[in-house]
Structure 1
Amino acid sequence: MWIPWMMILPAIMIRCLTTLYPVIMTFVNSFRNMDVIKGGQGEFIGLQNYLKLFSDDKIGTSMEFTIMFTVISMIFHLLLGVALAMMLNMKFKGKKFLRTIVLIPWAMPMIVAGRAARWGFNGTYGFVNDLIARVINGFHFDWLVNADTARIAVIIVDLWKDIPFFAILVLASLQYISADVYEAAKIDGAGVFRTFFSITVPNIAKTVMSISIFFTMWRVTNFELVYAMTSGGPHDSTSVLSYRILIEAFNNLNLGYASAIAVVLFIIMLILSGVNTLAMKKVSD
């Protein structure tokens, strides 16, 4: 019985080294003074890093936008993703070609998409203003200078990039629904909405809930888009918690405080995972 364990022991040790050790050290460092600029030597300081979170306005702003970004993005992922999947599941000429090209935004690296969006939403030479100016003469707006519109722009780019992949995953679930079921519903006189809510939704609910868990986690931990598109500005209005960790650790060289933020983010992810798991169990029942 020891042979199988001996065979997988190297893989387990590597996994522990690359996963468990960094997680444990993050928790440990969150209780230490590791502010390199101020001469921190890694001494134990208790809950000071965590208490600092409550008085840090930048953390409050980052928390606010993280929640806003995640909730709004996931709502539109569900609505638009399912709608796009339904469209791609229809029978029409060229649907295979459309299914291919629809994944192009998702295949683009997030850094590239963020940099392109930064140029596109530029108030002076961006193509977004140019397109609107073709309809509204003389239109000009600095999208990334205003806090509210900068947040909207970040969410729009995130949706543009990831909804196609979400839709393709839902499409895979739709294709497992037998066409005979829809034919039977049509014969029984069920309309479009009745068919959708009585047949389509129950059959894709488990898949949608499963992929929603992963997409929610990706939204919470996503910092590349903010880093490339707005650098957290203006005035930290588009800064998410994961981006704040990056700034504190590598710009401010305060590894202890960055670790405390990372622990808070870890707890938020655990809560979201628990909520999604409970929701998935109810759907399964």
Structure 2
Amino acid sequence: MYLSRKYLTLAWVLVLPALLIRLFTTIYPILETFRVSFYDIKLLRGLHEFVGFRNYIDIFHDSKMLTSIEFTVIFVVGSMIGHLVLGIALALILNMKIKAQKVLRTIVLLPWAMPMVVIAMASKWAFNNDYGLINDFVRWFNPSFSMDWLIHTNTARYAVIAVDLWKDLPFFAILILAGLQFISSDMYEAAKIDGAGPIRSFFRITLPLLSKNIWVLSIFFTMWRITSFDVVYAMTSGGPGESTALIAYRITTEAFTNLNTGYAASIAVVLFIVMALLSGLSMKAAKRVDY
């Protein structure tokens, strides 16, 4: 008993520095963000006034914030549909027994290995009307084509979603591919003997056996999409107007550009609660899925 208590004390002493660091870098900022969200803090005016829930009420009366919420929903839904459909298709292609299979998989992963800021800045040039790669390609088929992608609301939103999809789609596909590796080829051979074609085998064998992988990946990729920041920051800066400003970008703008830290903290708290609820509901639902 004495040795057990001695080792337990030693264990706490060794773990304590890590716990203190975690407390200082994670727990304290979260609690401080909650506290600040109840204040009207404007650094330029030297204002620090307790306002209760007024910042939270203002969120749903702020036209810029409502636009950010709208685009965040469009961005998350559009990106995840693309990841699911194209990611599974790409994984099936990479799983085929072809020559230079390893080389192909390496090439496919290259976009994911690049920093998003670099890709977003390059995409900003690629979507330029006068010298962009996208319009140059289209003009091979239609020489009179002209489109300023990033100065129109709809096309700018499509461009942001497309760049995000191009960046992370390979990683999503590789993770799906990992699940494909565990499906025995004997199952496909048996299905073929029973007269099942490729499409039927996909929906009766591949998709059900991949459902757990797809579900878990969808949860985490959705979380990442909701908190995306860098693609908008480097590519459109929230423009044109505020049409491509994601919620995470809006928080940064309010905190560091407008120096309205109390309002920014309230948005961050709402986002934190939404993420926590979404995570909890998703994990609960995942346990009920029959794999």
Q: How far apart are the structure 2 equivalents of 1:11 and 1:45?
A: 36
| 1:16-55 equivalent positions in 2, closer than 5 A | 16-41=23-48, 43-55=49-61
Select 1:208's aligned residue among 214, 221, 237: 214
Report the TM-score when normalising by structure 1: 0.96
In structure 2, the gaps of 5 or more residues are none
Q: Which amino acid aligns with 1:18?
A: T
Q: How far apart are the structure 2 equivalents of 1:279 and 1:76?
A: 22
Of residues 135-144 and 272-281 in structure 1, the stretch that sits farther from structure 2 once superposed is 272-281
Displacement of 1:71: 0.8
Select 2:170's aligned residue among 164, 172, 182: 164
Q: Is 2:223 the counterpart of 1:217?
A: yes
Displacement of 1:220: 0.5
Counterpart of 1:11 in structure 2 is 18
Select 1:100's aligned residue among 106, 119, 135: 106
Counterpart of 1:259 in structure 2 is 265
Whether the aligned pair in 2 keeps the contact of 1:205 and 1:283 (CA below 8 Å) is: no
Displacement of 1:270: 2.1
Q: Which amino acid aligns with 2:167?
A: K
Q: How far apart are the structure 2 equivalents of 1:276 and 1:74?
A: 15
| 1:1-285 equivalent positions in 2, closer than 5 A | 1=5, 2-3=8-9, 4-41=11-48, 43-284=49-290
Q: How far apart are the structure 2 equivalents of 1:115 and 1:195?
A: 42
Identity %: 56
Q: Which amino acid aligns with 1:92?
A: I
Runs (4 or more) in structure 1 with deviation over 6 Å come to none
Displacement of 1:177: 1.0
In structure 1, the gaps of 5 or more residues are none
Change (3 A) 1:21 1:45: same
Displacement of 1:188: 1.7
Displacement of 1:274: 3.1
Of residues 202-211 and 253-262 in structure 1, the stretch that sits farther from structure 2 once superposed is 202-211
Q: Which amino acid aligns with 1:258?
A: A
Displacement of 1:111: 0.5
Q: How far apart are the structure 1 equivalents of 2:14 and 2:255?
A: 38
Q: How far apart are the structure 1 equivalents of 2:288 and 2:197?
A: 27
